[in-house]
């Protein structure tokens, strides 16, 4: 199982980035896929996740209206469009999948996501 995240980088406050996560090697289906982040000295937190089948989404309150998650099942890829970035968005961003078909009832909680990518660093700084 591989989750390859990309698209991180350095951006000024107010700028935008798009993260991509491509999956491969799954022998068991997953139901949810999404993005999490971890800033230095902080716990990993859910940012946004999407249901693979029906496209239902969840967002952290801190990113609602600024971030948009989308998926392309044909390309096995999920995207995170991040707009109006601020310094508090600085973190390593990870993509992960959940094999729990009811993940949506719990939301973007790291504990119920069981396959993880390597992370991509997003730095928002002037």
Task: Tell me what the mean pLDDT of segment 113-124 comes to.
Answer: 95
Q: Name the percent of the chain lying above pLDDT 70.
A: 99
pLDDT digits (tens, 9 = 90+) for 77-111: 999 999 999 999 999 999 999 999 899 888 899 99
Q: What is the pLDDT of residue 106?
A: 86
DSSP state of 89: G
Q: Is the pLDDT of residue 27 over 80?
A: no
Q: What is the pLDDT of residue 121?
A: 97
Contact 56, 104 (CB under 8 A): yes
């Amino acid at each position: 199982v591989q989750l390859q995240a990309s698209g991180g980088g350095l951006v000024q406050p107010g700028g935008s980035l798009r993260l991509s996560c491509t999956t491969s090697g799954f022998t068991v289906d997953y139901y949810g896929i999404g993005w999490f982040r971890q800033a230095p000295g902080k716990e990993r937190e859910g940012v946004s996740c999407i249901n693979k089948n029906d496209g239902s989404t969840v967002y952290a309150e801190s990113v609602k209206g600024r971030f948009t998650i989308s998926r392309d099942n044909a390309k096995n890829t999920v995207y995170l469009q991040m707009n109006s970035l601020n310094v508090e968005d600085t973190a390593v961003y990870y993509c992960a999948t959940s094999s729990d078909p009811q993940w949506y009832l719990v939301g973007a909680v790291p504990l119920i996501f069981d396959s993880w990518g390597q992370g991509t660093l997003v730095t928002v700084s002037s």
